[in-house]
Amino acid sequence: MRDINTIDVDVVIVGAGFAGMYQLVQMRRAGLSAVVLETADDVGGTWYWNRYPGARCDILTVDYSYSWDPELEKDWIWSERYATQPEILRYAQFVADKHDLRRDIRFNTKVTSAQWNSDAKRWRIHTDSGNDVTAQFYVMATGCLSMPKVPDIEGTDRFNGEVYFTNSWPHDGVDFSGKRVAVIGTGSSGIQSIPIIASQADQLTVFQRTPNFSVPAHNGPIADERLVAYRQDPAAYREEARHSGIGVPTTPADVSALEVSPQEREATYEEVWQRGELAHLLEPYNDLRISAESNDTIRCFIHNKIREIVKDPEVAELLCPTNHYFATKRPCLDSGYYATYNLPQVRLVDLQKQPIETITESGINIVNPAISAKEKTESMAFDAIVFATGFDAMTGAIVGVDITGRNGESLRDAWAHGPQTYLGLMTVGFPNLFMITGPGSPSVLSNMMVSIEQHVDLITDTIKHLRANGVDTIEPTELAQRRWVQHSNEIADLTLLPTANSWYMGANVPGKPQVFLPYPGGVGEYRKICEEMVTRGYLGFALT
């Protein structure tokens, strides 16, 4: 039997991505003892794992960066509008060095289970490294997009060639030169990696189940005029982001897409297309998120762009998303994605018409009625298969830990029909367990840096408040939680968001309950609600 060493701290934080790193800083500043537990062997989270070719952020990096250390605004200058994964990882490492974070992080340590002890009023956390941790407060900084989706394609284990997952890419990179490569999945990861894989491979076959909307990033050095407001007053610029809809300073429109002439609309869409910022794409009209008719105008605009870029009209039609409205699935930002299909070595397989039958030892078999009257199976041979098939988003990493709360109830059971939270921050039955950007918070519908910082600050202030007032535990009330879930669903139902089979709805993972996972009310509104909750004495929480 292994010896179990136990560390006792005030706060245990799971995850050393941007959320866990900042939470550690804040715990130190509050004078609390804290330890971070992390599966990987370094900091960075998303940017540690997702090393696939072409990986970049899709929010301008000047916005997608920490605001809690004003020195970073001068110490770190981003080289491009949308930095690459290596640059963002270097930034995380730079912050870890500057603030000496690694001394309180236990790397190569996966948290497997956690139990609340009602008598001791503490959590006991078990890890796969032989160490337990006990703590009064337990913070899950485990990420919304950190649990890879288990491949659900027949025969996945049979393939004898090279297999890669975009979300756990080899650290030394992969050279696809001279190879026949298959990419399965056309979400953001697929769309970013496909142009680069195509430029290396002998042959590339893309397996598309659902076409996605993608907008050109127009990457390169950021234009001076885009930085005017930021340079004038970085603190004010950041503050504006905190009170905006999605965590990036934008000016909300006050006109419907249907109130202007088609010519004016076209010119506006052209302008935002050329600007290449997702944050601005939903901005020009106030009803693109809520009106199908309005959304159709931008949907058609992008369809026409695809038809202009892709030379083969049949391929262009396959690439046009028609089964969901724009931005009801996360739109993508690309560098030459659609033009890639003009290359002679690239083939697009539409899985709606030609579904995968099975993966075999040497490649992929699809159902292709065009092959012959008798034979319906087309066998394709590959040297490598890349799975860009996504994540068990928002809940996967949280229920990936076997968490047992008050009364011995498991979190997996409590969330069997979908996650229940108050403010996406805490859940009934699990005292002193906080989630950063948990389900029911704006999280993935926002610039995550802004949402992460807001949650970390709120958790920190809450813990300080409890300590200052001699309170041992905090837990939401049933009523507050029920009302929050209801409120979040009501807002989602006012929008087009729940109409798509998206990972926002849990629809990408077979058997996952389908509920709208993030809070769609906007980061500014959400911040106000949290501030009011605090002002009104932690309204909706039981403090004991």
The residues that touch ligand N01, with contacts defined as CB under 6 A, are: 57-58, 145, 152-153, 166, 184-190, 192, 209-210, 330, 333, 351, 388-391, 444, 503, 508
Query: Contact between 462 and ligand FAD (CB under 6 A)?
Result: no
Give phi and psi for 151, each to the nearest 5. -60, 130
Nearest Cα neighbor of 443 from 421, 466, 474, 465 is 421
Mark the segment that binds ligand FAD (CB under 6 A) among 36-44, 209-217, 231-239, 360-368.
36-44
Query: Contact between 448 and ligand FAD (CB under 6 A)?
Result: yes
* Sheet with 162-165, edge to edge strand ranges: 162-165, 384-387, 180-184, 203-208, 346-350
* Amino acid, single-letter form, for residue 305: K
Closest distance of CB 56 from ligand N01, Å: 6
- Residue 291 binds which entry of ligand N01, ligand FAD, none, CB below 5-8 Å type-dependent: none
Residues 6+ apart with CB under 8 A from 232: none
Strands 122-127 and 162-165: unpaired
203 touches 180 (CB < 8 A): yes
- Residue 187 binds which entry of ligand N01, ligand FAD, none, CB below 5-8 Å type-dependent: ligand N01
Residues 6+ apart with CB under 8 A from 419: 394, 395, 398, 427, 438, 439, 440, 515, 517
Query: Contact between 20 and ligand FAD (CB under 6 A)?
Result: yes
- Residue 38 binds which entry of ligand FAD, ligand N01, none, CB below 5-8 Å type-dependent: ligand FAD
- Residue 467 binds which entry of ligand N01, ligand FAD, none, CB below 5-8 Å type-dependent: none
Q: Is 12 exposed, middle or buried (0-12, 13-18, 19+ CB in 10 A)?
A: buried
Closest distance of CB 397 from ligand FAD, Å: 4
Comparing CB distances to ligand N01, the nearer of 286 and 379 is 379
466 touches 412 (CB < 8 A): no
* Chain-centroid distance, C-alpha 267: 31
Query: Contact between 26 and ligand FAD (CB under 6 A)?
Result: no
Closest distance of CB 342 from ligand N01, Å: 21
- Residue 389 binds which entry of ligand FAD, ligand N01, none, CB below 5-8 Å type-dependent: ligand N01
Closest distance of CB 289 from ligand N01, Å: 17
393 touches 144 (CB < 8 A): yes
Task: Give the residue, chosen from 84, 146, 421, 432, that forms a contact with ligand FAD under the rule CB under 6 A.
Answer: 146
Closest distance of CB 244 from ligand N01, Å: 18
Provide the β-strand partners of residue 8. Answer: 134
500 touches 329 (CB < 8 A): yes
Comparing CB distances to ligand FAD, the nearer of 139 and 310 is 139
Positions touching ligand FAD (CB under 6 A) are 14-20, 37-40, 45-46, 48, 50, 55, 57-59, 64, 110-111, 141-146, 189, 397, 400-401, 436-437, 447-448, 452
